[in-house]
C-alpha cells in the first residue's frame, strides 16, 4: 500500500497547494486570493 501520489499531476497539485499555503501563511496573499487560487487548483 502506497501513500504517495500516483501521478505527476497529483504531485504537481500537492506541491502547488503547499506553495499556496506557505504564501498565505507568510502574508504574501490575502485570504480571498488564497481561497480563489485553492479552488482553481482543486477543480
- Tens place of pLDDT per residue across the chain (43 aa): 456 656 777 778 889 999 999 999 999 999 999 999 999 999 8
Buried b (16+ CB within 10 A) or exposed e, 4-37: eeeeeeeeeeeeeeeebeeebeeeeeeeeebeeb
- Domain map of the chain by residue range? 8-42
Tell me what the pLDDT averaged over the chain comes to. 87
Query: What pLDDT is attached to residue 1?
Result: 47
The predicted model scores a pTM of 0.72
What pLDDT shows up at residue 3? 61
Amino acid at each position: 500500500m502506497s501513500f504517495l501520489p500516483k501521478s505527476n499531476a497529483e504531485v504537481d497539485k500537492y506541491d502547488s497547494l503547499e506553495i499556496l499555503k506557505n504564501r498565505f501563511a507568510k502574508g504574501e496573499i490575502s485570504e480571498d486570493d488564497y481561497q480563489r487560487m485553492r479552488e482553481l487548483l482543486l477543480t
